[in-house]
């Protein structure tokens, strides 16, 4: 689009503001968010990710993580280190993140949160199914714990019709989600009971919780799967932090550290190194694990009873 077309599309009527629009566009072009050719501007692959109608957009992730609610929690980080509040988010808003989503503007904020999770899932699911399809070999039933509105499970159920998929999440998250021939939605709490299955899927669940709660979740998972000889396993999609400082300039490593900070601000939780993951698996009485760094900033982890 040309500058004049952009001005019209953005409904900028004040001429003094129109004259400043090139400043913004030059900045966006400089950081690689836009491309410029003569007097026209074009989207880059990065900016395409924020276009609402793009199938793999992650715009809700940006709206949530950089919106006023979470930004306020970041501003309280210094105070949180010096007080007794459980999280920086709690310091900013007087309640936990999950409670805030339910209590404050539940429809608006919950929709953004659920869409953010779905957008993140859409972005990774294609790689999961194409690059890591071996993980589903021999699996006949799978429970997607904390699976939200089912973005990942819907894709798995479609790609592997022989697998019976169940999405487990809190009743208000499941809402009126409808299943299909090999997909069910179950309202429940992973700390209470997880339905039985060959495999349990935990996609970006454990980084929301401290070590003690993670061990509780993993033990519940272990109760719901058969022995390894009968095909039992837990599939984890989460970050395995890189500790080598020589890798600090790598974009993936930066993204891991950014997410690590966000988990601290929202939940007083964290992303984990290989050694920290291993400690959780041992405490939850799992006997073996393997890590496949195949999903961008995240890894695919399989653990066995």
CATH number of the domain where residue 108 is located: 3.40.50.150
- If pLDDT is split at 50, 70 and 90, which confidence band does 260 have? very high
User: In this predicted model, what pLDDT tens digit does every residue of 263-299 receive, in sequence order?
Assistant: 999 999 999 999 999 999 999 999 999 998 877 788 9
Instruction: Show the domain range for 40.
Output: 3-48
Task: Give the pLDDT band of residue 118 (cuts 50, 70, 90).
Answer: low
pLDDT in tens, 166-199: 999 988 888 888 888 899 999 999 999 999 999 9
What's the pLDDT at 45?
A: 87
291/242 same-domain check: yes
Classify residue 54: in a domain, yes or no: no
Q: Please state the domain count of the chain.
A: 2
Question: What would the pLDDT profile of 203-246 be if each residue is shown by its tens digit?
Answer: 999 999 999 999 999 999 999 999 999 989 999 999 998 776 56
pTM of the model as a whole: 0.82
Q: Is residue 198 part of a domain?
A: yes
Choose, from 30, 93, 207, 257, the residue flagged as catalytic.
Answer: 207
CB contact set of 42 (below 8 Å; sequence gap of 6+): 34, 35, 36
208, 256: one domain: yes
Instruction: Respond yes or no: is residue 207 known to be catalytic.
Output: yes
Examine the domain organization and report whether 173 and 114 are in the same domain: yes
- Residues of the chain above pLDDT 70, percent: 91
Residue 53 lies in a domain: no
77 and 18 in a common domain:
no
């Amino acid at each position: 689009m040309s500058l004049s077309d952009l001005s019209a599309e953005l409904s900028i009527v004040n001429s003094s503001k129109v004259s400043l629009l090139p400043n913004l566009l030059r900045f966006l072009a400089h950081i690689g968010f836009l491309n410029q050719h003569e007097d026209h501007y074009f989207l880059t692959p990065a900016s395409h990710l924020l276009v609402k109608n793009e199938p793999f957009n992650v715009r809700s992730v940006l709206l949530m993580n950089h919106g006023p609610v979470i930004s306020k929690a970041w501003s309280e980080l210094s105070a949180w280190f010096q007080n007794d509040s459980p999280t920086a988010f709690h310091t900013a808003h007087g309640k936990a993140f999950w409670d805030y989503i339910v209590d404050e503007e539940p429809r608006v904020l919950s929709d953004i949160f659920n869409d953010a999770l779905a957008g993140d899932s859409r972005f990774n699911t294609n790689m999961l199914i194409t690059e890591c399809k071996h993980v589903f070999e021999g699996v006949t039933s799978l429970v997607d714990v904390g699976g939200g509105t089912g973005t990942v499970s819907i894709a798995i159920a479609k790609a592997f019709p022989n697998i019976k998929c169940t999405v487990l999440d809190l009743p208000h998250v499941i809402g009126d989600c409808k299943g299909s021939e090999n997909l069910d939605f179950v309202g429940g709490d992973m700390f209470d009971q997880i339905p039985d299955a060959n495999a349990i899927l935990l996609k970006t669940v454990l980084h929301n919780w401290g070590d003690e709660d993670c061990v509780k979740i993993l033990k519940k998972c272990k109760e719901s799967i058969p022995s390894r000889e009968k095909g039992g396993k837990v599939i984890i999609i989460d970050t395995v932090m890189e500790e080598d400082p020589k890798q600090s300039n790598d974009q993936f490593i930066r993204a891991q550290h950014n997410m690590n900070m966000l988990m601290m601000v929202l939940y007083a939780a964290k992303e984990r190194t290989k050694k920290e993951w291993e400690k959780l698996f041992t405490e939850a009485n799992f006997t073996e694990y393997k890590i496949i760094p195949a999903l961008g900033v995240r890894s695919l982890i399989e653990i066995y009873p």
